[in-house]
Amino acid sequence: MAIDNATIARRYGNALFEVAQEQNSLAETAAELNELKAALNQEPGFVNFMTSPQIDEKAKKDTFSALTANASTLVSNLLNMLFDYRRISNLEAIIDEFNRLYDQERKVVRAVVRTAVELDDQQKDTLAKKFAEVEGANQVILDAKVDPSIIGGVIMQSASHIYDGSIKTKLEKIKRLLLKR
């Protein structure tokens, strides 16, 4: 029976998080994994190369050795295990799961904020502080997006909450009320 990608990411990400926590290296491991993820994003063909049956195993091992040369023991062991078990295609999802657990540990919430116009830094800081109070978080990291279709106001979305204060939504509510009569 095949295991789905989400289950693989949860299991490996959780195991990696627990080992990093035991070794008191959460911050270092997170930084190293995020560097690795950035490198993967710059080389989107890497996973295809590593998983392709047409590529010689020696070429894959040589490439992989270069990748793990400067890695910490923990990350190197993870990468080698993923390579040996042919799960390298799950690497990005495993990193995302580790980051989710790391954020949870530090009470960091990631949220997307959509506004009709670009927000300045002070507005972003104010929104982040208010949203942190609502979420009970130590820090909120905002991903600001401009969406002119909301007309005005703000929509904030985290993994657990959606707050919609957009003019578009308010107009839609008024429209529904008028159409009921």
Judged against a pLDDT cut of 80, whether residue 2 lies above it is answered with: no
Q: What is the pTM of this model?
A: 0.80
Non-local (6+) Cβ contacts of 153 within 8 A are: 115, 116, 165, 166, 167, 168, 169, 170
Average pLDDT, the chain: 91
| pLDDT tens figures, 126-152 | 999 999 998 899 999 999 999 999 999
Closest Cα partner for 114 from 82, 158, 177, 54? 158
CA 10 to chain centre: 13
Domains of the chain with CATH codes:
5-103 (1.10.520.20), 108-180 (no CATH)
DSSP 118: P
| pLDDT tens figures, 20-76 | 999 999 999 999 999 999 988 998 888 888 888 888 888 888 887 887 888 999 999
